[in-house]
Amino acid sequence: MQQRKGGSDLMPWFALDDGFDTHPKVRKAGNAAIGLFCRLGVHAAKHLTEGQLDGSIVRDYGTPATVRKLITVGLLHSHGHTCGRCEQPTEDGYIIHDYLDYNRSRAQIESAREHARKRQQKGRSRQRSERNSRDSDAILDSNSRENESSFAPNSRENEPLFGDETAGHGSTSRRDTHEGEAVVPSPPLPAQPQVVDAVREGAGSSSRPPGPDGPAPIDDAGFTVTDGMRRWAHRDGYAALIDIDHSTAQFVSHYRSTGAHRKSWPDAWQKWIRDDAKRAADRGQRPPSNVIALPTGQTLTGTDAKVAGWMAIAQQLRQEGDPA
């Protein structure tokens, strides 16, 4: 007679199948009583009463005659009924016959509603997360373009002011000797073995020994090489040309000895690394005009190299039988 459980998850329906109009009980009850039956069924579905009806609602919707007809044909039960399949209503109430056989219970409808609510909430959260992700990507892309545009002028400002031969002097400068140019031997570094380890471990500068007049500005600033600075050196290829830890130790030692101030120590460190890498690259490309290697593996420079070169030429001429 009534349609089995189904329909929308959010809205309850009072189910009637396509054979309801010709059912014997329906034909016997008549149109007026069946109209009341439909109204009572919709009321029960709307308020999730599971077929239970308050007596005042039944009397308000129908007449005593239509109510009696529904009870007579077995579509509606009053208190004290003898149907073994339906629960007893309240003393003043009624219950629709076999309501839960064709319609969903209150628990089923509420569970479906909760499931739909969670599904909608999950969908909204996913959409919100996707929007936030797109917004974050747009912000990062914008910041990246701004950083790239601002990096170019900074790079030009950090380029060395003088050529590689000397640091702006007529003769070899302290910087050139300190950096280890091949023309002039480099002096030994100060005996501070803990500096390289401290830089490699990212320790703060406060643990390093102070100068004769107290901590140097580089120590007061707490300079340290971060993981990001190291990634920059590897990303731009500088780490392939020089030893980053050794160059950093020279950088720290140099600024401790000079006591110079820098507005940004990370920027000064990057400039130092770029300069070291440039010199290393130039040394690798420049032919060693005043260096000669001996069979023992030892190298000679300056006057020693010239004398050894002339002696090698003389030896070659003797071997070829030249009278000179």
User: pLDDT digits over 203-248, tens only?
Assistant: 344 444 555 556 889 988 889 999 999 999 999 999 999 999 999 9
What is d(CA 281, CA 239) in angstroms, rounded to the nearest whole number?
Answer: 12
Q: How confident is the model at residue 6 (pLDDT cuts 50, 70, 90)?
A: very low
Model pTM greater than 0.85? no
Tokens of 65: 């005659």
Strand bridging mode 52-53 / 94-96: antiparallel
Q: What is the pLDDT of residue 67?
A: 96
**Strand residues in the chain grouped as ranges (E):** 52-53, 76-78, 94-96, 291-293, 299-301
> For residue 196, is it left (φ>0), alpha (ψ between -120 and 50) or beta?
alpha
H helices, E strands: number in the chain: 13, 5
Q: Does pLDDT of 3 surpass 80?
A: no
Higher pLDDT among residues 91 and 170, named by residue: 91
Please choose, from the candidates 193, 191, 171, the residue with its C-alpha nearest in 3D space to the C-alpha of residue 181. Answer: 171
Please choose, from the candidates 168, 165, 170, the residue with its C-alpha nearest in 3D space to the C-alpha of residue 184. Answer: 165
Q: Does pLDDT of 76 surpass 70?
A: yes
Please choose, from the candidates 194, 203, 188, 175, the residue with its C-alpha nearest in 3D space to the C-alpha of residue 276. Answer: 175
Kindly provide the b/e burial profile for residues 231-244, where b requires at least 16 CB atoms within 10 angstroms of the residue's own CB. ebbeeeebbebbeb
Tokens of 13: 């329906």
Q: How confident is the model at residue 201 (pLDDT cuts 50, 70, 90)?
A: very low
Q: What is the pLDDT of residue 148?
A: 66
- Which three-class secondary structure state does DSSP give residue 93? coil
Tokens of 280: 């290393």
> Percentage of residues in the chain with pLDDT exceeding 70?
69
What is d(CA 28, CA 46) in angstroms, rounded to the nearest whole number?
Answer: 27
> Residue 140: enclosing H or E segment and its boundaries?
helix 106-157
Task: Compute the average pLDDT of residues 140-167.
Answer: 60
